[in-house]
A and B are shown apart, each in its own frame.
Chain A
Amino acid sequence: SQKIEQNSEALNIQEGKTATLTCNYTNYSPAYLQWYRQDPGRGPVFLLLIRENEKEKRKERLKVTFDTTLKQSLFHITASQPADSATYLCALDGNQFYFGTGTSLTVIP
């Protein structure tokens, strides 16, 4: 079955720094990978999608990379702000839809 691993530890960074979150997967070669943000007690919110033929995707302060050889995606938030504090989930599509366990990010003012 599909296995998705994200940074197991919570990530704490100083405001203004770049946060980098990791998503590794096994047993599958997805055509695309998605990143979502989830705040406590709420449903996930879509952020970015990257396809297998794309190496990098950007949206404002967000950047996602996708290395299908390493089976890894990196998610970067540049110039981080306290409002970026949340849990970030990566997800990929097989015959089902698989989410990672998420990485909790705290941006310290």
Chain B
Amino acid sequence: DTGVSQDPRHKITKRGQNVTFRCDPISEHNRLYWYRQTLGQGPEFLTYFQNEAQLEKSRLLSDRFSAERPKGSFSTLEIQRTEQGDSAMYLCASSLTRLAGGDEQFFGPGTRLTVL
């Protein structure tokens, strides 16, 4: 399977614990995005990378959230001191930059986080 993969698919944690999610993009894609989605809402942008550089981060994103893409391939999203409000589906997407813009994003299956 050459699509975007995410691990784990489900994570249950207790409030206050740290969690880390991994995303493996499509291999030739240079951009990688993280989103959060809650029930009945569209995906909410968190951050994105072009190769290993983090180019944009949502102003709504708490300092408890951090993302890395150390070698421009896979990425990790860490949430420190989780809160119940962090419960959501975390989606990763990748794309190949086009000169004309309008990159088509390919999404992974998501990691569903439940904070008890």
Instruction: List the interface of chain A (C-beta within 8 A of B).
Output: 4, 31-32, 34, 36, 41-46, 49, 51, 89, 91, 93, 95-102
Q: Which of B58, B100, B101, B109 contacts A43 (CB 8 A)?
A: B109
- Chain A residues lying within 8 Å of B106, measured Cβ to Cβ, are 46
User: Can you report 29 residue pairs joining A to B where beta carbons are below 8 Å apart?
Assistant: A32-B101, A34-B104, A34-B105, A36-B105, A41-B110, A43-B91, A43-B108, A43-B109, A43-B110, A44-B43, A44-B105, A44-B107, A45-B107, A46-B105, A46-B106, A49-B102, A49-B104, A51-B100, A51-B102, A91-B42, A93-B101, A95-B56, A97-B33, A97-B45, A98-B45, A99-B43, A101-B41, A102-B41, A102-B42
Contact between chains at A32 and B102 (CB < 8 Å):
yes
The 7 closest A-B pairs by CB, nearest first: A43-B107, A99-B42, A32-B102, A96-B45, A46-B104, A99-B43, A49-B102
Number of A-B pairs, beta carbon distance below 8 Å: 57
Smallest distance from the beta carbon of B27 to chain A beta carbons, Å?
18
- The number of chain B residues touching the other chain, given as a range, is 20 to 34
What is the CA–CA distance of A36 and B91 in the complex, to the nearest angstrom? Answer: 14
